[in-house]
Amino acid sequence: MKLKLHTHQLQLAHKWKIAGGQGSKMNEVVVVELIDGDGVAGFGEAAPAATYKETPAMVLEFYKRLDVSGFSFDDIPGSMARLETFAPVPSAARCGINTALVDGAAKRAGKAIYDYYNLGFRENQHVTSFTIGLDTPQIIREKVAAAAHYPVLKLKTGDARDRENLAAVRSVAPTKPVRADANEGWKTKEHAMEMLEWLAADGNIQFVEQPLPRTASREDFIWLRERSPLPLYGDESCHTVKDIPFCAECFHGVNVKLVKTGGLSMAHDTLQAARKAGLKTMIGCMIETSVLITAAAHLAELTDHMDVDGNILITNDPYLGATSKNGMLSFTHAPEPIGLRVALR
């Protein structure tokens, strides 16, 4: 098997900022292509996140020392075990390889990935939220107006301007369902509780992601969960299946992302384990192309909510895949019939 890399500089429509972040208008990702001896090509994407201290340079350095000659689309677990012998493996780099392996395996089976996993995909069922990043109230008003065709918004919170920012959203979209994401920005359980009560008073907040830092104690998370007037979803606290027992104690749901799980195989297992543990599930994303967003869409049937707008927030997506017109995820116009169902634009 051979490995080909494609780096892409993704241009954001707006400067992207979340709690604790610097904000940026460019994001570099690495799209991975694994090609077997028969010429079958599997695609994946590494979208490293600063939140987890991973960079495009780290991913490229890792891929340079990786030898994929013994990898096979017919043996994903064996290929993943080989990958780990090149440790340390950046999670984003693992995601790129694993997603490419699953794409190739599904293509060899002649199936779309959602059928390869026996999940199927129901059209007109899965709606992605559209994210409003941290910004000035004026820009937030403009973004919310421009997102009028998206039925659900996600508002980044965990900032000194939370109240002004929600008021800006409400001045344009008074009753639209909104999810709030604190991104670890509220530092104490008391402050988080105060913010949750304020958000609940809005009446149209669906749930809140990561109200406390991932380093907060189990006791603090449980204290908050017992009192919260809104459902709480773990995001930075939930990476893989190993985190599900902790999350089942501390949250009502989890936000699973391919970049955190290290690809489709572990995302699939993490979502199944979460449901078994009684947790609500969602899939989120980073700033990504349609390669990784489409990969996430294949797992939609394992979720209660989708938040896969990373490709909508950029202006130069190099790939075509699942679409999200008016927020509705669809494979009707996907450019390929099997595998990941993506192609270069």
Q: Which residues contact Mg ion (rule: CB under 5 A)?
A: 181, 209, 235
What minimum distance in Å lies between the beta carbon of 236 and Mg ion? 7
Min dist. Cβ of residue 234 to Mg ion (A) = 9
Specify whether the CB–CB gap between 177 and 13 falls below 8 A: no
Of 36 and 235, nearer to Mg ion (C-beta) is: 235
Residue 210 beta carbon to Mg ion: minimum distance, rounded to whole angstroms? 6
Concatenated DSSP letters of 11-69: EEEEEE--TT---EEEEEEEEEEEE-TT--EEEEEE---GGGT--HHHHHHHHHH---T
Instruction: Tell me the three-class secondary structure of 213-228, residue by residue.
Output: CCCCCHHHHHHHHHHC
Q: Shortest gap between Cβ of 106 and Mg ion (angstroms)? A: 28
SS3 335: coil
Smallest separation (angstroms) from Mg ion to the CB of 303? 14
* CA angle at 303 for the pair 18 and 336, rounded to the nearest 5°: 90
Strand-pair partners of 24: 16
Nearer of residues 12 and 180 to Mg ion, judged by Cβ: 180
One-letter amino acid for residue 100 of the chain: A
CB closer to Mg ion out of 147 and 208? 208
89 or 297, CB closer to Mg ion?
A: 297
- 3-class DSSP assignment, residue 239: coil
Tell me the residue nearest to Mg ion as measured from the CB.
235
